[in-house]
Amino acid sequence: MSQTVAAPAAPAQTVGEQARKRRGHSYHSGKQGQWWRFAVLLVITAIVLVPIAFVFVLSTQPSLGSNASGFTLDNFVNVFTQTGLTTWLTNSLIVTLATVLVAVVVAAPAGYVLSRVRNRLVSSYSLTLFVIQSLPVITAVIPLFTLFANIGLVDNLVGVTIIYVGSTMSVATWMMAAYFDSIPIALEEASWIDGASVLTGFLRIVLRNSLPGILSTAIFSFLLAWNDYLIATVFLRSDPNYTLPIGLETFFQQNATDWGPVMAVAVVMMMPPILIFVFLNRSFSVGGIGGSLAGR
C-alpha cells in the first residue's frame, strides 16, 4: 500500500525537498518529513489498537462449547439469551440516563451562577469544586457505604445514581459555566429590561443558546456513569442489580478461558462510548471531556 501511495507523491516530494533546502532545517515543512511521520504514526496506532482489535476478533470466534469454526455471531446471541446481559444492560442504561438527566438539570443553574456572579462566595465555591474533584473516590466511598447501608441504598440502583450525580457535579458545573461564559450577558440584560425575571432569562435566552454546552456535560456524565467500576463494585451486591462493568467482570471471572462470549459482552459494553465518540467527537471533543473521568 505504501508503494502505491508513494508513487504519485514523488514530484511533490522533490518540491518539498527544495523547500526544505531553501529554508534550512524548517521544523515541520516538506513532504519528505511527512512520510516518516506517517509511517511512525501508523506503527504506533497499530500497536496501540492491538488489545481493542482482539476484543472484536475474539467476540466473533466460536465459543469453546460449540463445534462451529470461523466467523460467527453466535456469541452475541448466546450472551443475550443465556446470561444476565440484558439485565446488566438495562441497569446500566437506567443508571446512566438518570445520571445524565439529573446532572444536567442540577449543574446548569449552578454553572450559570458560577459564570455570572462575581464575588468571594462564588469564587471560593469554584475552588471548592476543584479541590473536591481531586479527592480520592475511595475516601468518599467508605463513609457513603455506611450512610447508604443505614438508609437502604446499598445494592440499589438509586444509591449508585445519587453517587454518580454527586461525582459529576464539580466538572459538570464547570463545563456549563465555561459555556455560559461564551454567551454575552447583554442578551439577558435586554430581556430583563423588557421585564423578564432572572429565571425566564436563563431558561429562554441562556439555555436555549447552550445546546453544545449541555451536550458536552451530558456526554461527560454519560461516560462517567457508564464506565465506572469502583462505585458499582462496592455498592451493587447482587446479580439482578449489576451494571455492565460488574456484569462483565464477574462473567469474565467465571469464564476466563472461554473468550468468545466474554468478548461479546465486552463489545456490547464498549459500543456506546465508541459510537458517541465517533459521531460527536468533531463537534464536542469527547476525548477532552473524558479527561475529567480518569481515576474514577
Residues 184 to 213 in contact with another protein, rule: CB under 8 A:
184-185, 188-189, 192, 197-199, 202
Q: Is 80 in the site for another protein (CB under 8 A)?
A: no
The single residue among 85, 177, 236, 264 that binds another protein, judged by CB under 8 A, is 177
Nearer Cβ to another protein, position 53 or 68? Answer: 53
Nearer Cβ to another protein, position 98 or 110? Answer: 110
Cβ atoms of residues 200 and 271 within 8 Å: no
Rounded Cα distance, 189 and 200, in Å: 12
Lookup result for grid cell 425575571: 197
Rounded Cα distance, 63 and 259, in Å: 7
Instruction: Give the contact letters, 35-64, x = binds to another protein (CB under 8 A), - = no.
Output: --xx-xxx-xx--xxxxx-xx--x------
The single residue among 88, 96, 104, 180 that binds another protein, judged by CB under 8 A, is 180
Rounded Cα distance, 217 and 107, in Å: 9
User: Which of positions 111-170 make contact with another protein (CB under 8 A)?
Assistant: 112-120, 122-130, 132, 134-147, 149-150, 162-163, 165-167, 169-170
Nearer Cβ to another protein, position 100 or 188? Answer: 188
Q: Is 245 in the site for another protein (CB under 8 A)?
A: yes
Q: Supply the minimum distance, in Å, between the C-beta of residue 82 and another protein.
A: 19
Cβ atoms of residues 140 and 188 within 8 Å: no
Q: Supply the minimum distance, in Å, between the C-beta of residue 214 and another protein.
A: 13
Q: Is 89 in the site for another protein (CB under 8 A)?
A: no
What is the per-residue burial (b if ≥16 Cβ within 10 Å, else e) of 3-21? eeeeeeeeeeeeebeeebe
Q: Supply the minimum distance, in Å, between the C-beta of residue 66 and another protein.
A: 19
| DSSP sequence for 144-163 | HHHHHHHTT-TT-HHHHHHH
Alpha-carbon distance values, 217 to 164, 181, 225 (Å): 13, 15, 12
User: Which of positions 247-266 make contact with another protein (CB under 8 A)?
Assistant: 248-249, 252, 256-257, 259, 262-263, 266
CB atoms within 10 A of CB 243: 29
H/E stretch holding 283 reads helix 259-284
Sole window of 10-18, 65-73, 79-87, 222-230 interacting with another protein (rule: CB under 8 A): 222-230
